[in-house]
Amino acid sequence: MDNAVTTLSLLQYALGAGAGSLVGFTLGLVGGGGSILAVPLMVYLVGVKDPHMAIGTSAFAVAANAFANVLTHARHGTVRWKIAGVFALAGVIGATLGSTLGKAVDGEKLLALFAILMLVVGGLMLRNRKGGGDPKVDLNAANAPKLAGTGLATGVLSGFFGIGGGFLIVPSLMYSTGMPIYTAVGTSLVGVTAFGLTTAANYALDGRVDWILAAVFIGGGVLGGMLGARMAKVLSTSKGRLNTIFAGLIFVVAIYMLYRSIGALFA
């Protein structure tokens, strides 16, 4: 197998840092969903020719970003560790299966399917998510089977597409346990970290993770995230409008990806 890592130029790595900044900025500004842009940015902006390389690299970058954020949420007491553990354990199994399947699918077909997923994400971002629920909920015999089932399913999708899957994990946790959204967001980051690392490890076995690109992407993401979080405080009263604008951006990128790769679905 040719090593695609060596073909990237210094300009492409600089673009990778810029792409990471954009993803970090959107995550800081609107919360979940920003990482869905990582793969298309790596393919169409940075110029990573192998879609599988883009997926493996972005999976690691997203996992690192989530790990940094889970530490912050843990300090604020919004992570339910037992619940997160069951969900993540089942999800790691799913992510292993999903990423193995994803590696076997043609890269262009994978991008077309990814674009369809982006349309779903954009639609979910337009929905208002209510904040009710029990903030003291913990793992019990009633919610454990639901957690394992939804964790497995979410992990498969996360591994297949190389995404963090927070937009799926948050509603899954709320459905399975009845926890409020702010607790679900903090708890979901454990799953995002675990799924991302599992997917990245699976792709790394085939040499499909560019570690340098991942590093500059993560570095850019940290800086972008700080700026986005700062701006989010200023624009906190416009959160609904920001989500709408960002969902629109996702739709535009998804349509462009479909235009570029839709033919592969029928090839």
DSSP result, the chain: ---GGGG--HHHHHHHHHHHHHHHHHHHHH-TTGGGGHHHIIIIII--S-HHHHHHHHHHHHHHHHHHHHHHHHHTT---HHHHHHHHHHHHHHHHHHHHHHHHS-HHHHHHHHHHHHHHHHHHHTSPPP--S-TT----TTTHHHHHHHHHHHHHHHHHHT---HHHHHHHHHHHH---HHHHHHHHHHHHHHHHHHHHHHHHTTT---HHHHHHHHHHHHHHHHHHHHHHHHTGGGHHHHHHHHHHHHHHHHHHHHHHHHHHHT-
Banded model confidence at residue 4, pLDDT cuts 50, 70, 90: very low
Q: What is the pLDDT of residue 207?
A: 94
Average pLDDT, the chain: 86
Q: What is the pLDDT of residue 3?
A: 46
Expressed as residue numbers, the domain containing 124 is 4-265
Q: Is the pTM of this model over 0.95?
A: no
Mean pLDDT along residues 71-76: 84
Among 14-18, 158-162, 173-177, 236-240, which stretch is predicted with the lowest mean pLDDT?
236-240
Number of domains in the chain: 1
Q: What is the pLDDT of residue 2?
A: 44
